Structure 1
Amino acid sequence: MRLNLFVVCIAMAAGAASAQTSLPKTPPAPAATASALETREIRAQLAPRRFTTLAAEIGAKINRLPVPEGGAFKAGQVLIQFDCSLQQAQLSKAKAALAGADKTWQANKRLADLNSIGKVELDISEAEVLKAQAEVAANNAVLGKCSVAAPFGGRIAEQKVREQQYVQPGQALLEIIDDSALELEFIVPSKWLAWLKVGSGFQVKIDETGKTYPAKVQRIAARVDPVSQSVKLNAMIDGRFPELISGMSGQVLMVPAERASK
């Protein structure tokens, strides 16, 4: 009897151990996730304040690209000049048609005063003038697309075409950036919002230069990620440093308030 009782006890202990090892592992608590986010290195990349891709609005051959790739330009400066000799000829043709239609209309108005022409003929001649005016306006609008000016000051990030190349409407030509101010985007624990505000200053160490630069928070995301308990920040380099360019990255040196007070 004692032997049988001993065997039963061993079997029950083994079953309990097996059940304990077979239990599924519970996921880490949100607090543990937030703690991991606080201790890890916060990385950020420099990005331009504004950037865009300039595309062709007409089909034409490129005559000039006055600013080379990487070159700087000012707002309103011509970046692309097309060969629009055909469009110019079409405008001249439209202007000649307008002049002829206007002369016909003026003559018909004088005849109408003498009751030598019907109202229908007079109205038709006036409509021809309006049609010719529309053609002139359309051709002037096309000629306005023969040069592309910079919408803002900055630099040429990428030149996608070359001079003497024929391009189609909608084809990408240049990628431009406004590097007058460089921005940073990174993620921090959401509980930092208790002390982190727009305008808060911090430092960022850039890998490519090995130097540390001042920065300021300029925007805080509109919502917190409930899973990771984190929030996205947008900051700007505080000052102008010629060695910094878009695409560089580095470590955000932001000390939580509770650590800074110790």
Structure 2
Amino acid sequence: MSYSPERSLLAVILSLILTPALADDTQPALATTEPSTIRVLLVASLETTLSSQMAGTLGEFKAALGQTVAKDAVLARFDCAEAQARARVAAAELTMARQNLDAKRNLRKLDAVGDLEVSVANTEVQKADGARALAQAQSGYCVVQAPFAGRVAKVHAKPFQTVPAGTPLFDLVSDGALKVRLNVPSSLLPKLKKDQALEVEILETGKAYPAHVSAINARVDAVAQTVELEARLDAAHPELIAGMSGTARFPDNNE
């Protein structure tokens, strides 16, 4: 077959015309595809980092990694000889200020002092009482207690370590039913509602667990075009712990 420049030019023109058309035909199918499963993360209902409220040296250390603790359980104690001494000094100063006020009141009855001196003595009592309350509050920082029942997720400090105020000591996560966090495409927002059922499959256990939507974020992520949801498992499962991940499936979206 002989070479024809006209035929070759016609083939190039047809390829330029048809290629965008084929791409446009396939694009809508990709844009309308909705995922049937969504990535999820298990988180504790309550979690916090307990930090030191004072500068000092850690003494007694009762909490260990993974340990279950009750509400108000003592996790650690500081060496508080100095703080306790300040509290005793403040209590003694309050006693002395009250004695001085009583003496001034008795002298006032005899017209030996004026009203101003009695008023000043009364102010000194109030000042000393405030100093005593402050010293007692600072003494309370010597004991680190669990604000809720849970498990120790991380230990940041060591026994006998000297730390400044604000140093993280423990990460604590609560016991009980876990929360599920997930981000879903914003296109599903019209179909979502509170208490809507979903099924959560956890990778670490290979099992599926029923849950219900408990909260829907009031704002859509404009960049990712997703909306954040929170769900709660219908029951507590001992094998599940915070940090596990998996996928969620909404029954209405199943194929």
Q: Same fold (TM over 0.5)?
A: yes
Please name the residue that 1:116 is paired with.
112
Residue 156 of structure 1 aligns to which amino acid in structure 2? V
TM-score w.r.t. structure 2 length? 0.82
Counting only pairs closer than 5 Å after superposition, residues 1-262 of structure 1 correspond to structure 2 as: 13=10, 16=13, 32-35=30-33, 37-38=34-35, 41-225=37-221, 230-257=226-253, 259=255
Structure 1: unaligned runs, 5 residues or longer: 1-5
Distance (Å, rounded) in 1 between the aligned partners of 2:229 and 2:129:
54
Quote the RMSD (CA, aligned, Å): 3.3
Residue 30 of structure 2 aligns to which amino acid in structure 1? A
1:49 aligned counterpart, secondary structure? coil
Distance (Å, rounded) in 2 between the aligned partners of 1:203 and 1:51:
24
| Shift in CA distance, 225/135, structure 1 to aligned 2, threshold 3 Å | closer
Please list the CA deviations of residues 203-223 of structure 1 after superposition, one character each: whole Å capped at 9, or x if unmatched: 222221222222222222324
Distance (Å, rounded) in 1 between the aligned partners of 2:49 and 2:254:
44
1:243 aligned counterpart, secondary structure? coil
1:222 aligned counterpart, secondary structure? strand
On the 8 A contact 2:80/2:139 being kept in 1, the answer is yes
Please list the CA deviations of residues 223-252 of structure 1 after superposition, one character each: whole Å capped at 9, or x if unmatched: 445676543322122212111111111222
| Shift in CA distance, 217/118, structure 1 to aligned 2, threshold 3 Å | closer
Distance (Å, rounded) in 1 between the aligned partners of 2:223 and 2:89:
67
Structure 2: unaligned runs, 5 residues or longer: none
On the 8 A contact 2:199/2:251 being kept in 1, the answer is no
Residue 204 of structure 1 aligns to which amino acid in structure 2? V
Please name the residue that 1:3 is paired with.
none
CA deviation after TM superposition for structure 1 residue 18, in Å: 8.9
CA deviation after TM superposition for structure 1 residue 120, in Å: 3.8
TM-score w.r.t. structure 1 length? 0.80
CA deviation after TM superposition for structure 1 residue 73, in Å: 1.5
What fraction of aligned residue pairs are identical, expressed as a percent? 34
On the 8 A contact 2:75/2:145 being kept in 1, the answer is yes
Residue 56 of structure 1 aligns to which amino acid in structure 2? S
On the 8 A contact 1:192/1:256 being kept in 2, the answer is no
Give the length in aligned residue pairs.
251
Distance (Å, rounded) in 1 between the aligned partners of 2:198 and 2:68:
29
